[in-house]
Amino acid sequence: MASNISNDLVWQITRNQNSFLVNRNSGGGFQFSRDPLNLLNKHSYKAVGVQATENGVAVTTKKPSNPQQPGQNLVTVTYGPSTSTRKIYKGVADKTAKNSYRADLREEAVARVSAVRRSQLPKKDAPAQKLRGSKARKAEESE
């Protein structure tokens, strides 16, 4: 792109020809995004990506320094399974703040990391259901 064209203008021109764009006509015609960097899954201009890895979390952000080089623009930071959750939250908040992301996306990024970490917890077994009513009386009588 030419350097004298603003990024906002480029977005306005190309936003309807996006390969990640998903149009939904139900409920008022929403536009969603399948972009792996899109945090809110809304079709919008700026986002940060959080993906689950093997019992860890990978945070992918864009460098603000060289937006004209897409191949070198992405930075991925991986947090392992033994890293404390608070340390990951602080790292994600710092990463988004230092890369000039919007302040409202910072909270959403921490919420996404929290959801990923919760999904990686071991599942608890459901307790055996107690017998109630007539089935409980029959079980007592048979004992």
pLDDT, tens digit (0-9, with 9 covering 90-100), for 45-91:
665 566 667 778 888 887 777 778 877 888 888 898 888 889 999 99
Which residues lie below 8 Å from residue 112, measured CB to CB, with a gap of 6+?
39, 50
Exposed (0-12), middle (13-18) or buried (19+): which is 57, by Cβ within 10 Å?
buried
**pLDDT number for residue 2:** 52
Residue type, 111: A
- C-alpha 111/C-alpha 108 separation (Å) is 5
Would you state the torsion angle of the CA atoms of residues 103, 21, 16, 100, taken in this order, to the nearest 10 degrees?
20
Q: Residue 90's pLDDT is what?
A: 92
Share of the chain above pLDDT 70, in %: 90
Q: What is the pLDDT of residue 1?
A: 47
Which tokens is 57 given? 């979390």
The mean per-residue pLDDT over the stretch 1-30 comes to 74
Contacts of 117 (CB under 8 A, 6+ apart): 57, 85, 88
- The answer to whether the predicted template modeling score (pTM) of the entire model surpasses 0.85 is no
What is the token pair recorded at 77? 């930071």
Using alpha carbons, list the distances in angstroms from residue 41 to 5, 31, 50, 127: 27, 9, 11, 36
Domains of the chain (ranges plus CATH)? 36-121 (3.30.390.110)
Specify the higher pLDDT residue, 33 or 126.
126
Q: Is the pLDDT of residue 33 over 60?
A: yes
Report the mean per-residue pLDDT for the chain.
81
